[in-house]
Amino acid sequence: MSDLDLGTVRAFVAITEDHYFSEAAARLGISQQAVSKRIARLESDLGVRLFFRSRNGAELTADGRAFLHHARALIGIADQALEVLRGRRRSLRVDVLDTRLSSVDLVRAFHQSAEGVDIEITTSNGLRTARDAIAHGSVDVAFARFTGTPDEDLRCVPAYLEPVHLLVDRDHPFAGLPEVPIERLSGTTVWMPGNAPGSEWAEFYRLLEAAFDIEIDATGPDFGWEYFVEEIGSGRRVGFAGEGLRLPWHPRTVQIPIVGPAPVYPCSLLCHRQNHHAVLSRLIDFVTAEFRPFDPRHQWLPDADRAAFTHPH
C-alpha cells in the first residue's frame, strides 16, 4: 500500500462531518470534483470502499467506520505539528565570513529597520562551507562571492559591491593622497595573508593581480587583524581591505581609496529556494532595495561577476 496522502484523509473526515461532498468541498475550499478524486484515491490506496450513497448524503461503510477514528487521529497529529511550527519563533540564521565585514553592517541595518526580527550570526569559511550549510538547513542565509550558475535549489541575490582600499603606513609616499590611481600600484606587492587557497576571495584578488600587474603575497601565517594592521603600520608591507571593513585602530596605518577604476568586491545573498522562514523574504527585499549595480565607467569587476551585478534584480 502506498503512503497515505493527508489531503485525502482530510477530505474523508470532512465528508463524515458534513455528509455531503458539496459541503465538504466548500469547507476545504476546493471543488466537489476534487473531493471526489481525493476519496477515490484514498479508497484505492486502502483497497476498501468508504462511503455509500443514501437519502441523507454520504454514509460510512463498515470499513469507513473502522477507519474514521484513525483518520481523525492522523489529522489531529498533523494539525498539532503545523501549529507548533507556525507558532515557533526561530531566529533567522545568517552566515558571514567575518563579523568585521560589510555584510554584518548590512544585516544590522536590516535588523534596525525591521521590528520583531530575531537574527543569529554565524561565521564560516565562506562559500566552501556555506553551500552545504544552506542545503542542510543549518543556516538560512549566507553572504559570499558567487560566480557561475547556481544549483536549481540555490537562490543568489546580488547584495553589494565593496570598494577595495589600499592600506599603508604614514610614511609611505601614498599616505598623503586622498585616493590612489590603480595604475600607480603596478609592480607593487600587496600582502594578504588571509587569502586562503581555493577561496572565492583569493580568486578575486588573483584576477585583480593579473588585470593590473599587482603581486599578491598570501604568505602567512595569518595571526588576525591586529597583527595585520601592526605589520602595515610598521612600514614593512602594504595591504588591501574593503572600504567597510572595521579594522582595529592603529596610529600609523592609513586607508586610501583606489580609483581609475575602483576595484569592487562582489558579495551575494545566498539561500535555499524552499526556505520559507518568515523573515527571509523581508531581508531579500531590503538587500535588493539597497543594492547599487556595477558601474563599468568607474569600477572594476572580474568578467565572471559582471553580468549578475550590472543590472538590479
Say yes or no: 151 and 282 in one domain: yes
The CATH number given to whatever domain includes residue 12 is 1.10.10.10
Q: Is residue 298 part of a domain?
A: no
Interatomic CA distance for residues 185 and 258, integer angstroms:
9
Say yes or no: 152 and 275 in one domain: yes
Q: Is residue 70 part of a domain?
A: yes
Per DSSP, 198 falls in state T
Interatomic CA distance for residues 241 and 308, integer angstroms:
23
Residues 6 or more apart in contact with residue 212 via CB below 8 angstroms = 182, 183, 185, 186, 263
Q: Is residue 227 part of a domain?
A: yes
Q: Is residue 221 part of a domain?
A: yes
Residue by residue, pLDDT tens for the chain (313 residues) are 567 899 999 999 999 988 899 999 998 899 999 999 999 999 999 999 999 988 888 999 999 999 999 999 998 888 887 776 665 568 999 999 999 999 999 999 999 998 888 999 999 889 989 988 999 889 999 999 999 888 889 999 999 999 999 999 999 999 999 999 999 999 999 999 999 999 999 999 999 999 999 999 999 889 999 999 999 999 999 999 999 999 999 999 999 999 999 999 999 999 999 898 889 999 999 999 999 999 999 999 999 999 999 975 4
Q: Is residue 311 part of a domain?
A: no
Q: What is the structure's pLDDT at 79?
A: 82
Q: Tell me if the bond preceding 221 is cis, omega within 30° of 0.
A: yes
Is the CA virtual torsion 119, 122, 126, 128 positive or negative?
Answer: negative
Q: What is the structure's pLDDT at 116?
A: 81
Residues 6 or more apart in contact with residue 262 via CB below 8 angstroms = 163, 164, 182, 298, 299, 300
The CATH number given to whatever domain includes residue 112 is 3.40.190.10
Q: What is the structure's pLDDT at 2?
A: 63
Say yes or no: 149 and 276 in one domain: yes
Q: Is residue 307 part of a domain?
A: no
- Say how many domains are in the chain: 3
- Note the Cα 32 to chain centre separation in Å: 41
Judge whether 195 and 240 are in contact, CB under 8 Å: no
Say yes or no: 193 and 285 in one domain: no
Quote the domain boundaries for residue 31: 6-87
